[in-house]
A and B are shown apart, each in its own frame.
Chain A
Amino acid sequence: MPRALSITTHNASLGEAPLTPEWHSRTVASETAAHKMSFTAVPTASNSYQLNDSNEVQPLHSLPPPFTTTSSPGQTSSTKLIRQGAEALLYYTHFLSPSLPCALKYRPPKSYRHPILDKRLTRARILAEARVLVRCKREGVSVPAVLGAGWEEGWIAIEWVNGSTVRDAIFGRKTWRQENQASYEGGEKDLVGLMHKIGCAVGKLHQVGVIHGDLTTSNLMLRPTVSGAEGGEEPSATSAATPFDGTITLIDFGLAAQSSQEEDRAVDLYVLERAFGSTHPEVEHLFPEVLKAYGESYKGAKVVLRKLEDVRMRGRKKSMIG
């Protein structure tokens, strides 16, 4: 594909310029008008959420040491790929002991980046995520614990959170309602309770100066509460189990940052609002309950709610010139 550049230039003095403009375009039969660079399709895992047992997909990159050994005599744990995102690979494995399940997040090197830049970024991002999680833990925000981190190699081992995502719980509610039609008469009370819990959890997070950066219902877990433990919820009057029992635990802090800016907090809420709108339109009308609980969760929260109105109106940030 010829890349001839035959451009005549015109200088700023606006004096007489040659009359031949560039780019005579012939009827383009004689030239290919475009080039498509299709690179050999390299087999990679699609962004599948679930690992298909009969059709195990392997990512391009293998885990770094010490995770490279998959099994050996006496090893009871096996490492499974759970999800392959744009940034990182998520594995299920065990850490420290066969009875401690963990989420192993690995950021593989990106071939398109300069190696120095790549290493620098990977290191910074692993550390940022670990630091944010540890800070949250220190301040009592419900997040999984960091078990270990290899920032030079690009991995972080995080406590595995049992329970379901809020996303799945909401999807599953329909079935649950059908099955429990007779016994449950709370109307939408269970959902409202859920919204309040979410608002409080996000409020607590913001209060300690952390922005999640990717608040969706897939990143909110409902962790079953052990009765009597601190942090559990008060038993409800009816003590009927609902799909939304448990403590809200925030996960996936890959895009999190430390910030106390109202704007950042408002954007965090806005992302969650939009997530509800696109994934759970049928419960979207209850989202104001999230904001209500958020507004009451810490001093300064109400200012953030006002800021949220601005963020909504702006839609996607500012327009560009030109």
Chain B
Amino acid sequence: MEELVTLTLPHLPLHPLFLSLFTNLENASFLRQQLLDGNQEFEYAFLDARMLLSENHVLAACFRALNDWQRGRLRSRNVHSEIVFSLSPNNNIAESFRRFGISDTTTDLLAIKVSTSSEFTAESVRTHLSQHVQADSVLFSDEAIRRGADLARIRKVYKAGGDGGKVNGAAGTGGGAALDGVEGFILGTMALKGS
């Protein structure tokens, strides 16, 4: 049974996101090939989940991509590739795919589908993914993402300091997600990309 979560970003209510998290991925090469071929049935953002820090990290990339798409300033092919690109701190598209996108050796995968038309529903996406992704399904959540995050690699890519001392900001907000130093810094870096 595939776990699929539907999330709607505040202020972008017309384009909900379908998120599916997987582990023990077996056919990474196949999926990657579909993207390279430009197979229209596979318009997804396929992300290496180990490069994702938290739910906010993912959603910030989605917001940026969706907003840029709405404002007519996509830098990459489509809104899905833009999600991958938005994760990157710099403007090199190819590098962003190498770092954050799916590779032949990816084991933990986050698949995101933006609902760009009524053709795509949670059901249709779930069905399609269950047919083509050979992996174990995990329920997408902040906790699941954090568990699988490769902190050292993430810090390195964002140049977020390796010692854990410098990037610590204020403590939790006491109410929902706590934006600790690294996360806050990464979100800010992503927000400034391309400026």
Contacts and interface: CB of A to CB of B under 8 A. Distances in A.
A and B touch in the complex (CB under 8 A): yes
Interface of A: 65-67, 69, 72-77, 93-101, 127, 130-131, 133-134, 137-153, 156-157, 159-162, 223-226, 229-232, 247, 249
Interface size class of B (residues with CB under 8 A): 35 or more
Contact of B171 (A77, A98, A247): A247
B34 interface: no
Given A149-B191, A160-B173, A66 B185 contact: no
B159 to A, nearest CB: 8
Contact of B8 (A74, A138, A139, A140): A74
Interface stretch (B10-18, B74-82, B112-120): B10-18
Contacts of A223: 170-171, 173
A137 B182 CA distance: 8
A127 B188 contact: no
A145 B11 contact: no
Interface in B129-186: 160-161, 165-181, 183-185
Contacts of A98: 10
Nearest to B165: A140
12 contacts: A67-B11, A76-B10, A93-B10, A99-B176, A100-B176, A137-B169, A140-B181, A141-B169, A145-B188, A146-B191, A148-B64, A226-B171
Interface SS of chain A: loop
A137 B70 contact: no
A101 B175 CA distance: 9
Given A97-B55, A137-B181, A146 B192 contact: yes
A68 to B, nearest CB: 9
Given A100-B56, A138-B166, A149-B191, A162 B10 contact: no
Contacts of A73: 13
Contacts of A72: 13-14
Contact of A96 (B14, B60, B189): B60
Contacts of B174: 162, 224, 226
B13 A140 contact: no
User: 5 tightest CB-CB pairs across the interface, nearest first?
Assistant: A145-B184, A99-B176, A134-B188, A146-B188, A229-B171
Contacts of A94: 10
B31 interface: no
Contact of A138 (B171, B178, B185, B191): B185
A77 B11 CA distance: 9
Contact of B169 (A65, A75, A142): A142
B173 A162 contact: yes
Contacts of A152: 71
Contact of B67 (A66, A76, A230, A232): A66
A69 B12 CA distance: 9
Contacts of B25: none
Nearest to A66: B11
B65 to A, nearest CB: 12
B35 interface: no
A144 B181 CA distance: 9
Residue in B13, B173, B183, B188 with the greatest tally of chain A CB atoms within 10 Å: B188
A147 to B, nearest CB: 6
A107 to B, nearest CB: 15
B192 A130 contact: yes
Nearest to A151: B195
A150 to B, nearest CB: 7
Interface string B40-69: 000000000000000110011001100100
B171 A96 contact: no
Contact of A65 (B71, B161, B177): B71
Nearest to B164: A230
A144 to B, nearest CB: 8
Given A96-B60, A145-B185, A229 B172 contact: yes
A127 B193 CA distance: 11
Given A66-B70, A138-B167, A223-B171, A96 B9 contact: yes
Given A149-B192, A223-B170, A75 B177 contact: no
Nearest to B64: A148
A230 B34 CA distance: 45
A189 to B, nearest CB: 23
Contacts of B189: 134
A311 B184 CA distance: 36
